Amino acid sequence: MKKILIKIATQAFLLFLAFITLLPFIYIILISFGKNVISAGAKIPKEFTFENYKQLFQATKFLNWLGNSILIGLCTMIITVLLVSVTVYVFSRLRFMGKEKLFNFLLLIQIFPLTLSMVSIFRIFVAIGLLNKMPGLIIINSTLASAGLVMIAKGYFDTIPYDLDEAATMDGATKLQILLKITLPLAKPMLAIVAIQSFVIAYNEYVIASAVMTTNILSMPLSVGLQSMIVGQFGINWSIYCAGAILGSIPMIVLFYSLQKYFIGGLTEGGVKQ
């Protein structure tokens, strides 16, 4: 009886946590279908309509913004996975002078807030002609995501037995062949985490995008485009904003569930088991 009571209490507590977690999302869904919701502190709407979703596609550039964010996220994800794979392999497998100092330098970069570099980033974008252009966001997002995810990926790469590299070297394999045919296949769970995190970072990024993507509404990412619906030409319409936020979250949900097996494996596996 005691065990049964403990299980019931545990399930009740977990259900309560789930409810608290899902409550904001449920509220956003209700607001997205609400009629004439013009206040951020509005209660649950009394009238519901699909007109908000219709207006989202007709009165805004939502499809352009969504496509831009997906393109930026996918390009950032591909570049970040390549950069992190090579960088982590170098730090985890190769021996060279100054390796520890260089790795500590990457750690030092993470200390400084992003806001401190905004002026420099803006001036660089102006100087090289990347202002209000998506390639600029892809480059800066890939750089920032790679610097942070290297810290996460290195610990996983270190768990892959170095004996495999030595055996492959004795068989005549090059460093590139070892990376592509041995190390990366064994690191798929961690690469999935890098892919998901880099996509989410680029897809949700707002601070830099709001500073360097300000004039061309067609090239704005989703985060900046949705913000323009509140303070820009579209006025304040929280129903349309919430509708855009819900539809805009679908790509991240699809990506996460597509790589869920590898994502969970990368978080739970403590080593390579053969």
- Provide the domain limits for residue 94: 62-223+262-268
Q: Say whether pLDDT at 178 is over 70.
A: yes
Q: Is 206 contained in some domain? A: yes
Q: What is the pLDDT of residue 10?
A: 92
Q: Is 97 contained in some domain? A: yes
In this prediction, what percent of the chain has a pLDDT beyond 70? Answer: 90
Average pLDDT over residues 198-203: 91
Q: Is 255 contained in some domain? A: no
Q: What is the pLDDT of residue 236?
A: 66
CATH number at residue 201: 1.10.3720.10
**CB contact at 8 A, 179 and 160:** no
Q: What is the pLDDT of residue 156?
A: 83
**Using one digit for the tens of pLDDT, what is the confidence trace for 37-94?**
666 555 677 778 888 898 888 888 899 999 999 999 999 999 999 999 988 888 888 7
Q: Is 143 contained in some domain? A: yes
Computed over every residue of the chain, the mean pLDDT equals 83
Place of tokens 């009740």: 12
**Nearest by Cα to 65 from 189, 186, 236, 227:** 227
Q: Is 147 contained in some domain? A: yes
Q: Is 44 contained in some domain? A: no
Q: What is the pLDDT of residue 15?
A: 93
Cα–Cα distances (Å) from 137 to 169, 221, 229, in that order, read 39, 9, 21
Query: What is the Cα–Cα distance from 55 to 243, expressed in whole angstroms?
Result: 10
Q: Is 199 contained in some domain? A: yes
Q: Say whether pLDDT at 222 is over 80.
A: yes
For the ranges 12-16, 102-106, 266-270, which has the lowest average pLDDT?
A: 266-270
Query: What is the Cα–Cα distance from 100 to 88, expressed in whole angstroms?
Result: 13
Q: Say whether pLDDT at 136 is over 80.
A: yes
| Residue at 240: amino acid letter | I
**Using one digit for the tens of pLDDT, what is the confidence trace for 141-172?**
998 888 888 888 888 888 888 888 888 888 88
Q: What confidence tier does 273 reach under pLDDT thresholds 50, 70, 90?
A: very low
Domains held by the chain: number: 1
Query: What is the Cα–Cα distance from 215 to 244, expressed in whole angstroms?
Result: 21
pTM over 0.75: yes
Q: What confidence tier does 13 reach under pLDDT thresholds 50, 70, 90?
A: very high
In this prediction, what percent of the chain has a pLDDT beyond 90? Answer: 16
**Using one digit for the tens of pLDDT, what is the confidence trace for 225-234?**
888 776 544 4
Q: What is the pLDDT of residue 269?
A: 53
More confident residue, 89 or 106: 89
Query: What is the Cα–Cα distance from 238 to 244, expressed in whole angstroms?
Result: 10
